[in-house]
Structure formats: structure tokens, C-alpha cells
Chains A and B, each alone.
Chain A
Amino acid sequence: MKTGAKLLVESLQREGTDTLFGYPGGSVLPIYDELYDSPLRHILVRHEQAAAHAADGYARASGRVGVCLATSGPGACNLVTGIATAYMDSVPIVALTGQVPTTMLGNDAFQESDIQGITMPITKHNYLVKETAEIPRVVKEAFYIASTGRQGPVLIDLPKDVNTRSIKEPVVPEKVVLRGYNPTYKGNKRQIDKAIELIAAAERPLIYAGGGVISSNASPELVEFATKLGIPVTTTLMGIGCLPCDHPLNLGMLGMHGTEYANFAVTECDLLIAIGARFDDRVTGKIDTFAPHAKVIHIDIDPAEIGKNKRVDVPIVGDVKSVLSDMIHGMKKTGTLEAWNKKIKHWKQHHPLRYGKDNGCLHPQFILQQMNELLKGDAVIVSEVGQNQMWTAQYFCFRQPRTWITSGGLGTMGYGFPAAIGASFARPDVPVFDVAGDGSIQMNIQEMGTVAQYKIPVKIAILNNMYLGMVRQWQELFYDRRYSYTELPPVEFVKIAEAYGIDGMKVESCEDVMPALKAAVDCDGPFVLDFRIEREENVFPMVPAGAAINEMIGGHPRL
């Protein structure tokens, strides 16, 4: 005889879970009792939202399914932002929630919330388990659904009596059978052939690579594909790291804060090869003028993404890795596309990213360049959301997939710090940084308690401008500098860190940046860096909302 809680813990182990992030409460007491002497490592966070983000950061850094656990009602509701974040970025997590006993469901019992109903639009699938015997099957299905096809979060709601009841151990199904779920992995041969023909005929092809390349672990294939044919590559925010930033074919990020040359290339290309990307509005700007001269090939595992925002000439539904390797094998010629790459090189030379270095202030871009020099890409960099995120995407040189972790789709402030905690468990071998703003860090600052308790070596680099910087930037540019509720009073973050027993350093000048970064990396545990940066620094270039992406402000005069 085994209790539901025991069956749950055993099921998690069967799926290879070694770490989970959670917060106890009344209806998950049976599960916590079972965890007490289980080999599973449970990390106690300070707010359930952090548990979801930590599971997400763990999943993104490792490629495995992240797991979080919360109690019913408020605990479950606090997971919502984290689950929505994972959903928008297609991250495989399994969220476990306690629930009031089945006999009380629907009665507005203490700490009851309909978390299955609440999370329907933000999960790939979710379950309310009503029979103890279902637990092993449901856990198996949840991991399978989360980690296959287009990945995403799955929630399992577990009423208390389902966890306490003892039953004879049910037979664990060997295979998951879901007749309504059959993802397509192999690309259609005829479509692939058509794509190969288009590529062979193109004079100015461009690869637009998104997060799908990373979740499909297809970086080697992407690099081979691009290099063989000499096709330049621009990546989305989520695609950063899928080929090394200093690869000659890499144009960096495109879109609203993309490089000028990436956006020029999109506007002038005659063939756009979208790979695991979804034509998000922050990428396309005004959709009618996005890649206006190009035929479009779109490779994606989710058929619903193809043709959703942009008309596509050759749709290929399939796993990016499999499709790319089929395309590499089917490719008849190799090439260098000399004229096109020469043009791009010219743009790169004359339109590089730049910032004002003259006024003696501490510029955030400089800090990121110093981080880059110190870490040489051998680190996991997580960001919060806003200017800190864009500067990191622009100025840190990522060389490996899964070393850049950020909330792209939902844009969740407060994501970075807890996600860095998760990433730190996935990658104990490298330094893990959270690049934060003073606004974002205060959204989940309580997790200093977590990193202090477990000595999790997350380094928090706060780009502190005493503003909600990105919103302030928009107010400066589009609202006549009316800084409505975006100024934040100064906070001594080092003192907050000290209160938690964490080391830290305040940095106010350029020459102190490198020593401070070194001190952070050399410290065994967590470390807080409070960089007092130029307050009104902007992220440039920038495509104003609704404009075409080649109409950037803050760029260079077009030659």
C-alpha cells in the first residue's frame, strides 16, 4: 500500500527529477512529509512565483523539465505569472499544486482556488487528479507533454485526500498514449525540397532564428547549415546563443532593439528562412513592411505558428533539428553569397552598436562589455526585463546555447533572479549572473533569503538608474519627458544584501567595475553588485512602435 504523496514522489524520480522548487502549505503537507526523507532536493523559495521561475530557469539552462510545487489557493495563484512566463517562451515545466480535498471542491473552502480553470489559457495542458491511482499515469503524461512537441508548462492539481489515501500500487504505464497529441517531428520531404530550391535560387537569403533552435538543441545543425551556404543569421531575443555572437555570419538580434544591420538585412533580403521563430510584433515592427522583398520559408514544430502573422511561401512543420539536418543532406550546392555578405559587412562596419562614452558616467553597456571580457562567454547570464535585458542582449557576447536566459514573450519583471537560482542548479560549473534593474530586482528581492540559506552562488548585477528605465525611455521619447511614476528613490542594495548575510559592493566609477566583477566571481556564494549607472541612458537603436524595422531612431546616418 502506498499513499498518493509517495506515488507522486516516486513518479517524479522515475522522470529523472532531482531538484524541485517549492513552498509548503496546508494542502501539500502530505507531499512535504514524503519529501522529508526522499532523495529529491527541495529548495525552499520565499514566494511561490520564484518557485515557478526557478523551475523555468532550471529547464532553460539544462534542457530538462523543471519542477515546482505550491500549496492550494494563494500558493497556486502565486505560480500563475511564472507559468505564463514559461508558456509564452515554450519552456518545459511541471507545476504541482495542492488542492482542497475532493469532498470540498467547489465549496469555497479555505485556500481553495480553481487553479485548473485559472491556468487553462497559460498551460499546454493541466490536470485535476481525483483518484490516487491516476497519479503515476498523470505525472508521466505531464512530463511527456511538457517536454515534447512545442514544449510548455503542465500543471497537476492534487487534492489533499488524493495525496493521503493509501492504495495498492497501480501499474505504471510504459508508454504515454494520447490520441489527441501527436507532434510532427519529421519535415515533409516535398516541402523541404521546395525550400532547398528556393535557397539555391536566392541571392540575398537571410536566416531568422528563434528560441525554437535552442529548445530543439539544433545549434550545431544551424551553424552547419548557415556556414555551408554562407547565409547570414539574425536571431530573436530568444534565439541568442544559437550561434556564437562573433561568428562572421551572425548579425545579432533583429527587431525593436536589434542591430541596424540585422534590420537592414531583413528589409533587403529576397528570402527569409524563419527557423523556430514566431514573427512576434517586437521582431517585425509594422508587419506589412517586414521583409517586404522576401519569399518566406518557415520551419516550426507548431503548425499554428505558421501563417499566423505573416504569409509563408514554404511552410515546414517539424522539429528544427530534424528538418535542418534533412536540409543539410539535401543541399546540392555550397556557397558564399559573396555580394550579399559584402553588403552586410559594409553595414556592420558603418552601423555598429554604439553608446556615448564621453561624459565620464558609468554606462551600462560598458559594464556588460567588462563582464564579457571577464567571463568570455563561459557563464550563464539571466536577465530581468527592460533596459537591462536589451543591453545584455546587445552587448554580452553569447557563445553557447542555453547560456542566455530571459523572459522574452511575457516580459516578466522579477523573472531574472529566481530564474538564475534555477539555472545555478542546472549549471553549477559556471558563474551565473542575473543582470537586473533596480525596478525588476525589487519584484522578487525576497529571494535573497533563498540564495543566502542554500549559499546559491548567483551574482546579481543591478544596473541601478533609480528609474523604471525602459518606461522612462518611452516617456522621454514619446510622452514629452513626462516621467509619470517611473522614478524610484535610491535603495542601498548592498545593505539589503548584508541584512540577508550576502556580500555586495556598490560601484560608481568605471575603474571599479572590473575589480567588483572579479570579487563577485571569486566569491563562493551569492554576491550583489549595485552599479550606479548614468540615469538617463537609453537603449538604441530603437524602432518606434508601429514603424517599419528599418526606421530606427538612435542609429547612424544611412550611408
Chain B
Amino acid sequence: MKAHTLSVLVENKAGVLSRVTGLFSRRGFNIESLAVGPCEEPDMSRITIVVIGDDAQVEQVMKQLNKLIDVIKVSDLMESVRVERELAMFKVTAEQGSTRAEIMQIATIFRAQIVDVGAKSVILQVVGDTDKISAMEKLLRQFGIKELIRTGRIAILRGTKTVTSSK
């Protein structure tokens, strides 16, 4: 069982996300992470899905996705050299004084940004791969994380190779 990052190029039409996620639940595949957004073609969207399974399961997921008429292309990025990123925002309890300084120190180390400062809390924004965000979460926990929000993972191939509609 490994985590596979699938890049799925779809028609930008109503109901497409529902077709894709419905397929996962119906066939008993688990979505670990999901991110959807527009892409370089205005009439297409790109969905990045992280799915955990053995090779046969993931192959079946990809084949089933390919059967959807609105799915244009499915690629498994697992074996390729790629850049993966997530964005997370932490709302951390931070009273005036030394804790606040400590939090800012952690932010610097993780190259996170402080995007909001309140009387009793700060919001940190960090971009990175899953491990980096999890590491930061661990460190911030001691101060009290009031709220944590993470985007789904997105991924792109390094170099000139692309996941586009031209096959």
C-alpha cells in the first residue's frame, strides 16, 4: 500500500467533480487528499488526487477514471520526479511576550509567513510538502493550535514533461 498522486485532467463542466468523487466512494477507494482548480486550458480543470492502495487497486482506479467521458487524461505521478506542495494555515494561541517570539522563530525556520496577528493569536501560512507541514504542526502544537486548515496536495512533473491533453 503506497500513496499515489494522480493528476486528472477533466472537462470544466458542472458535475464532473461529483462524477470523480462518486466513483471513488462507490468502488471503495479512499481519497487521501483532493485539490481542484483551473489549468492552462480554459475549458479544462485539473484534479490532483492522492489515493492509497496497492498497484492493482490504483491501476483499477485509473482505468475507472478513464472510463468517465469527462475525464480527458489520468496520470500517476508516483514514479516520476515531481514537485509536490500543500498550503496550510495555523491559527496559534500567542499571548504577548516570549511565546510570540518563539512562534516567530519557528515561522522563520519553516519559511512560513505570519499573515494575521491578533491580541491572543497569530495566523501562520506555510507552503511545502506534507512532511514539512506535519513537522511544523508538531512544533506548534505546544502553543495550542486553535485551528488548522490545509489544502489538498498539488503536484507537477519536473523538467519539460507535462500532463496535458495532447497525448
Hey, which bits of chain A sit against chain B, CB under 8 A?
Answer: 116-117, 120-121, 124-125, 128, 145, 178-181, 302-304, 307-308
Contact = CB atoms under 8 A, between A and B. Distances in A.
Contacts of B63: 303-304
B26 interface: yes
A302 B66 CA distance: 10
Contacts of A302: 67
A176 to B, nearest CB: 11
Given A304-B63, A307-B56, A307-B59, A121 B22 contact: yes
B105 to A, nearest CB: 50
A178 B10 CA distance: 12
A117 B15 CA distance: 8
Interface string B36-54: 0000000000000000000
A128 B14 contact: yes
A453 B105 CA distance: 84
Contacts of A125: 68-70
B51 to A, nearest CB: 16
B26 A121 contact: yes
B interface, size bucket: 20 to 34
26 contacts: A116-B15, A117-B18, A120-B15, A121-B22, A121-B26, A124-B69, A125-B68, A125-B69, A125-B70, A128-B14, A128-B15, A145-B69, A178-B69, A179-B72, A180-B10, A180-B68, A180-B69, A180-B71, A180-B73, A302-B67, A303-B63, A304-B60, A304-B64, A304-B67, A307-B56, A307-B60
Contacts of B76: none
Closest 5 CB pairs between A and B?
A304-B63, A180-B72, A125-B69, A181-B69, A121-B26
B86 interface: no
B111 to A, nearest CB: 39
B60 to A, nearest CB: 6
Nearest to A303: B63
A120 B56 contact: no
A179 B166 CA distance: 10
A306 to B, nearest CB: 8
Contacts of A181: 69
B16 to A, nearest CB: 10
A495 to B, nearest CB: 44
A128 B13 CA distance: 11
A188 to B, nearest CB: 16
A115 B72 CA distance: 24
Interface in B1-51: 10-11, 14-15, 18-19, 22-23, 26
B165 interface: yes
A180 B56 contact: no
Nearest to B44: A179
B62 to A, nearest CB: 9
A180 B68 CA distance: 8
A307 B55 CA distance: 12
A178 B68 CA distance: 11
B78 to A, nearest CB: 18
A307 B66 CA distance: 15
A180 B11 contact: yes
Contacts of A121: 22-23, 26
Contacts of A120: 15, 18-19, 22
Nearest to A145: B69
A180 B66 CA distance: 8
Interface in B57-104: 59-60, 63-64, 66-73
B22 to A, nearest CB: 5
A303 B63 CA distance: 7
Contacts of B64: 304
A231 B76 CA distance: 40
Interface string B108-133: 00000000000000000000000000
Nearest to B62: A304
A117 B19 CA distance: 9
A240 B14 CA distance: 41
A308 B60 contact: yes
Nearest to A126: B15
A121 B71 CA distance: 15
Nearest to B72: A180
Contacts of B18: 117, 120
A180 B19 CA distance: 14
A180 B165 CA distance: 9
Contacts of A124: 69
Contacts of B71: 180
A180 B70 contact: yes
A145 B66 CA distance: 14
B9 to A, nearest CB: 9
A262 B82 CA distance: 51
Nearest to B63: A304
Given A180-B10, A180-B73, 8 more contacts: A120-B19, A121-B26, A128-B14, A145-B69, A180-B69, A302-B67, A304-B60, A304-B64
A92 to B, nearest CB: 14
A145 B22 CA distance: 20
B17 to A, nearest CB: 11
B43 to A, nearest CB: 10
B165 A179 contact: yes
Contact of B66 (A128, A178, A303): A303
Contacts of B66: 303-304
B69 to A, nearest CB: 4
Contacts of B11: 180
Nearest to B65: A304
A311 to B, nearest CB: 9
Contacts of B15: 116-117, 120, 128
A143 to B, nearest CB: 13
A304 B14 CA distance: 25
Nearest to B15: A116
Contacts of B59: 307
Nearest to A306: B63
Nearest to A154: B69
A117 B56 CA distance: 28
Nearest to B64: A304
A296 to B, nearest CB: 15
A237 B70 CA distance: 32
A402 to B, nearest CB: 25
